[in-house]
Amino acid sequence: MIGVILTLNAGSSSLKFALYGEDGDTPLAQGMVDRIGGNEASLSLKDGAGNALPVADISPNDHTQALAVVLDNLRQAFPDTELRAIGHRVVHGGTDYAQPVLVDQTVLSKLDKLSPFAPLHQPHNLAGIRAAMEAFPGVPQIACFDTAFHRTHPWVNDAFALPRDLYDRGVRRYGFHGLSYEYITGELQASAPLIAASRVVVAHLGNGASMCAIQNGRSVASTMGFSALDGLPMGTRCGQLDPGVLLYLLDQEGMSSDAIADMLYRRSGLLGLSGGLSNDMRTLEQSGTPEARQAIEYFVFRIQRELGAMAAAMGGIDGLVFCGGIGENSRLIRARICERTEWMGLEIDHARNDENARIISSDISRVTAMVIPTDEGLVIVRAARAHLAQENAT
């Protein structure tokens, strides 16, 4: 029997998963159940080399059934394996969790209390944990939090200028995408230790997007705050918004909070700015309509603006790292962002950028710009392996 570790990332209607061996950075298999509860639910499953594996027809109604489908298919594809641990991506760890944690009923009820802070994500993440606990009562379940990496923020980057009791009631700038920032920090520490020990801005630019100021390996500021809506515009999320707009929509336009939430999370960002054309950067780059061009212009401008803010939070900048689907692949967006960064000592080398090289700044650039593919799943599996190692040692 080969010991394996499963990682799960449960969304509202999806369940992403990856299966890892006891060591190694590449998953044995990974995939996703999509449109859970819908008529067109689907399962995709690929092996470590990215080749599609055969799957059965499925129709899961909820996360428990989706997990059962995943497990059935994994058992077929990897018959001689034994599950040693399950690692879960959880959006919110509140103020308590700065590290991954072994989940038991007490932890689960603490995490339940954080659902109002991330109502669109946390309940689904926890449904994934509950489904896994039910299926494997004896197997350790490790929760890894998107907020944990940011618990080192100084108070000025943790608070809003609101009446103080709201801070005590949890209205704070938590920051998200922490698993990605942790991975990039580890990569820098291993391959570019001098940069890792200095002042780095990481731009995680995917469907969700944020930036983080990381000084000597510790997060000091990030563009996302209380929710995953703040900061940069995203595929369908608005990014930073004057709170007066919300009051206007509530009071003058008579919108309900549900309708506003739907607009801010699902109909804004690149999708909204492009006039409903697409949330997908590739489509926008290819389309060339005036609205698509403006959506890209807005995206680039807000990144440039926040880059200045992140650098200011650290008193300067020595490295800029691009990651996420757009950061890792879009030569155009990286080039456009770096058109206006000479003032901070960052000069792009266009040939390197066009090649998607790891270092894309010029030799004379004071700031080193890099492209590093992120791997949130690996951070989760490493946390699960660390737990197993600790368990074996005691």
Residue closer to ligand ADP, measured from CB, 27 or 324: 324
Do residues 381 and 20 touch, judged by C-beta distance below 8 A? yes
Q: How many residues bind ligand ADP (CB under 6 A)?
A: 13
C-beta separation of 190 from 372 below 8 A = no
CB of 101 to ligand ADP, least distance (A): 24
Residues in the chain: 394
Choose, by CB under 6 A, the member of 31, 87, 208, 225 that binds ligand ADP: 208
- Taking the complex as a whole, the smallest distance from the CB of residue 275 to ligand ADP amounts, in Å, to 17
* Pairing mode, strands 319-323 and 218-222: unpaired
Q: Is 111 annotated as a binding residue?
A: no
Total H helices, total E strands in the chain: 15, 12
Strands 141-145 and 101-102: antiparallel
Given the complex with ligand ADP, which of 152 and 207 has the nearer CB atom? 207
Q: How far is the CB of 377 from ligand ADP (least distance, A)?
A: 11
Directed axis angle between helix 105-112 and helix 122-135, to 10°?
A: 160
25 by Cβ neighbours in 10 Å (0-12 / 13-18 / 19+) ranks as exposed
Question: In the complex with ligand ADP, which residue's Cβ is closer, 111 or 281?
Answer: 281
> Which of 10, 144, 195, 281 is in the footprint of ligand ADP by CB under 6 A?
281
Concerning whether 146 is annotated as a catalytic residue, the answer is yes
Q: Are 69 and 52 in contact (CB under 8 A)?
A: no
Measured from the Cβ of residue 55, the count of other Cβ atoms closer than 10 Å reads 18
**What are the tokens at 25?**
């950075």
Give min distance, CB of 334 to ligand ADP, in A.
10
Distance between CA atoms of residues 205 and 308, nearest Å: 17
- Catalytic pick among 23, 47, 80, 146: 146
206 binds ligand ADP (CB under 6 A): yes
Residue nearest to ligand ADP (CB): 325
Please, what is the Cα angle at 240 between 238 and 245, to 5 degrees? 80
C-alpha separations of 205 from 2, 177, 380 in Å:
36, 10, 20
The binding track of 314-353 with respect to ligand ADP, each residue x by CB under 6 A or -, is ----------xxx--xx-----------------------
Q: Binding residue per annotation — 113?
A: no
Per-residue x/- track, 222-241, ligand ADP (CB under 6 A): -------------x------
Known catalytic residues are: 146
**What residues form the annotated binding site?**
9, 16, 89, 204-208, 280-282, 325-329, 376
**What residues form the annotated binding site for substrate?**
89
| Chain residues that interact with ligand ADP, rule: CB under 6 A | 206-208, 235, 280-282, 285, 324-326, 329-330
